[in-house]
Structure 1
């Protein structure tokens, strides 16, 4: 496992260099490594709230659910998409934009023990990054924003955006020419059975965007679909808590879900791949 060191100052975009437990840019902006090993690169002036992103409880629910292996087929599809077209000779720098508690990067690292990888996870939630850093020291974990990725331009081979908020202009800036974005979104039937329980009526999940982002070419879409049975209330509660439906559903709908002993749901995930065009010219927005 390689270490990803091409970090950028979130204030001026200049390269950061490490000295002990501190990272500094040429202008003197400095950022200390937390004792858990992660780096906080989200300046207070770029926060939209005091504690942005997923809460501590939401992160804990997601950690329990994902570590139980319920989304393992999704992780396997992501791993295959990352490595299928990549040669074995060169190191592969991969960033998970909106990494949460790091499940997908951990799975990527575990399935590529013999490969040279430099992994970095970025999330706006300090609770998510704290949980990620506690579980695995191999990737570089950063508190930061997809709108202002704290990495140098043209340094990444792959960007993952899994059930997150893509910022394609930033992805294009950070990727090398020919680098790839792998984006996972809920398919129309994703968790349909749960939604039928918690909402008075449901609409199909909004389909993933069909347009090719500026500066990219389409490499195709894969659908990961399977049936999943949750056999206890705790797992059902964790699934609900880790989704936006926990906040969107009416109170009576959440109560109905809390009383379930078992639940079988459809998992449907659309996995899209984009390749960065070589002719794209990017600048660093700060």
Structure 2
């Protein structure tokens, strides 16, 4: 059962936010007010927390990602995430709410897949999706109601201390201190990151020389690593549109030369390796808690 998450804080002064009587805005006791957009999301990203006028993914990038993910190319990753979160929810107090934060939610794909899981629906899940891109959050809010969709930044999460059971950070930008602050004492952090070989075939097209990949460190300030699982498979992209959609989702889109982009544009189809690690972390203060 999906329930509302209401433990938001003002990004200007840290005070708790409350919905106004007409449910049109969030307001703190000091009078700061944040209107709820007609699509249902709220923008809690103040100007001083922006590094550009329009930070995060552009409208075009969000559309490409949505089209790519809707085709199911990353569905095995979403399924693996759901399996872990489902196990965490089962260990939580059955009578209490289980808040999940997708920190860097993009257009909401992984959170939607999680909430569609029949076993997850047996729990009182309060879902929060946050992204710095207003275009991503706008797209997400159109496809999944009853989720608290927020434009914000992981560097200053507009969420109360110790109010979240599970933080998801999928191909995102982790801020360990903020994740630790918002997690409940026995909460968990799920980091999803690319591993060696991920998108290797695409990189071979983009670059003349593909550098050897090194293993990523499994350390996170304030956290202890508990376990990892790995998702590996080959995805068949049947046309150039889907190849371009994937390309635009990756950092390689910005790093590629004009020649590399041209080679991608000439591809008719592509088989590409997907290789990611899903790493579970617990706060050091709760490191004695085991994941069974």
Q: Is the 8 A contact 1:189 1:204 kept in 2?
A: no
Instruction: Name the SS for the 1:164 alignment partner.
Output: coil
In structure 2, which of residues 108, 112, 115 is the aligned counterpart of residue 106 of structure 1? Answer: 112
Question: Offset at 1:115?
Answer: 2.5
Separation in 1, partners of 2:214, 2:144: 34
Which residue of 1 is the match for residue 180 of structure 2? 172
Q: Deviation per CA, 1:44-98, whole angstroms, max 9, x where unpaired?
A: 1211110001111111110000111100000001111112133271321000111
- Residues 261 and 143 (structure 1 numbering): CA distance in 2 closer, same or farther, change over 3 Å? same
In structure 1, which of residues 196, 205, 217 is the aligned counterpart of residue 204 of structure 2? Answer: 196
User: Equivalent residues in 2 for 1:235-274 (5 A)?
Assistant: 235-274=242-281
Aligned pair 1:23/2:38, yes or no? no
User: Equivalent residues in 2 for 1:132-281 (5 A)?
Assistant: 132-211=140-219, 213-278=220-285
Separation in 1, partners of 2:273, 2:41: 35
In structure 1, which of residues 45, 49, 73 is the aligned counterpart of residue 76 of structure 2? Answer: 73
Separation in 2, partners of 1:231, 1:241: 16
CA RMSD of aligned residues (A): 1.4
Which residue of 1 is the match for residue 290 of structure 2? none
Q: Is the 8 A contact 1:190 1:205 kept in 2?
A: no
Q: Is the 8 A contact 1:38 1:142 kept in 2?
A: yes
Which residue of 2 is the match for residue 122 of structure 1? 130
Separation in 1, partners of 2:221, 2:243: 39
Equivalenced residues, count:
279
Which ranges in structure 1 are unaligned for 5 or more consecutive residues?
Answer: 281-286
Q: Is the 8 A contact 1:98 1:124 kept in 2?
A: yes
Instruction: Name the SS for the 1:147 alignment partner.
Output: helix
Q: Deviation per CA, 1:156-193, whole angstroms, max 9, x where unpaired?
A: 00000000000000000000001000000110100000
Which residue of 2 is the match for residue 284 of structure 1? none
Q: Deviation per CA, 1:137-166, whole angstroms, max 9, x where unpaired?
A: 131100000000010000000000000000
Question: Offset at 1:116?
Answer: 1.5
Which residue of 2 is the match for residue 62 of structure 1? 65
Separation in 1, partners of 2:64, 2:202: 16
Instruction: Name the SS for the 1:66 alignment partner.
Output: helix
Which ranges in structure 2 are unaligned for 5 or more consecutive residues?
Answer: 288-292
Separation in 1, partners of 2:274, 2:116: 23
Instruction: Name the SS for the 2:167 alignment partner.
Output: strand
Instruction: Name the SS for the 1:85 alignment partner.
Output: helix
Q: Is the 8 A contact 1:132 1:141 kept in 2?
A: yes
TM-score, scaled relative to structure 2: 0.93
Which residue of 1 is the match for residue 4 of structure 2? 3
